[in-house]
Amino acid sequence: MAIPYNTSLQKASFFLTGFQGLEHLHGWISIPFCSIYLTVILGNLTILHVIRTDSTLHEPMYYFLAMLALTDLGLCLCTLPTVLGIFWFNAREIGIPACFTQLFFIHTLSLVESSVLLSMSIDRYVAICNPLRYSTILTPARIVKMGLSSLLRSALLILPLPFLLKRFQYCRSHVLAHAYCLHLEIMKLACSSIIVNHVYGLFVVACTVGVDSLLIFLSYALILRTVLSIASRQERLRALNTCVSHICAVLLFYIPMIGLSLVHRFGEHLPRIVHLLMSYVYLLVPPLMNPIVYSIKTKQIRQRIAKKFEFVKSHRCFQQD
């Protein structure tokens, strides 16, 4: 039966899905997911705390890292309620307005992450190719503007999606394949033409992730050209070493995204569990791994975190004595 938005859509619901056929194991499956969510939250909050409290880290590179941590934290919190709700309480039903709200924040924050990675590549380009003007080009005011423009661009481009979905009649199954709401999946449930949504979705991806990835590639091409012109081998390695963490973050974001796109386009014959796992990898692996990568590969972050733990340990020992 069709459900027009203007009459009964507010009362209608979608039904989320965990691991179909493994419902009896959801309690056990929730354990690794809880561990991942807890690690994501603690890891990104630690990065934010260290950057906020240590004045020596109040530099452009770390401001952008704080933006990345905030984005990852937001992306994690968008999916946490519905994912754990299914595993713990079998709470599969979600109202359509709530579903569209979750969809908006998931897609917006995904685009924000792409923009932040581009900003971080610009930071590395300026630091290596124009180091004498680094502090004058990337001023705090300009960094704030870059962050706000990333957020504004992403939100404005994603904002039409819920409204495009509202105009549909949903006469097919209301069961979604994931534990959260995504635009591509919801529009497939519509019983009318979805060509506008398809075209607009491709436009959004092309002018955000597509443009960002090309500019990141260009920035690293210019960085590589500058590094190869440095006479000292040691200086070349030192310059490249400052980019390792960011390159890892870029790969952690784009490889799962490309993999998920390929699975959706060409993997219809693959088991459904593969689609599920790829979607979880895309949404959870970057927020999980980014704090770990930056903690290991960035000396300043690693030292500050170690110092924080040493302070807490010594403080506890002092209280016991």
Chain segment 139-163, per-residue pLDDT in tens? 999 999 999 999 999 999 999 999 9
pLDDT under 70 in the chain at which residues?
Answer: 1-11, 172, 311-321
Q: Exposed, middle or buried: residue 115 (CB in 10 Å: 0-12, 13-18, 19+)?
A: buried
- State the pLDDT at residue 145: 97
pLDDT of residue 5: 41
pLDDT computed for residue 300 by the predictor? 87
Structural domains of the chain, ranges and CATH numbers in brackets: 13-318 (1.20.1070.10)
Cα separation, 247 vs 228, in Å, equals: 18
Alpha-carbon distances, residue 236 vs 119, 126, 218, 222, 247 (angstroms): 22, 16, 19, 14, 16
Structure confidence at residue 27 (pLDDT): 93
**Which pLDDT value is given to residue 312?**
59
How far, in Å, are 23, 27, 301 from residue 272 at the CA level? 15, 20, 40
**Residue-level pLDDT at 263:** 82
**pLDDT of res. 119:** 97
What is the structure's pLDDT at 230? 86
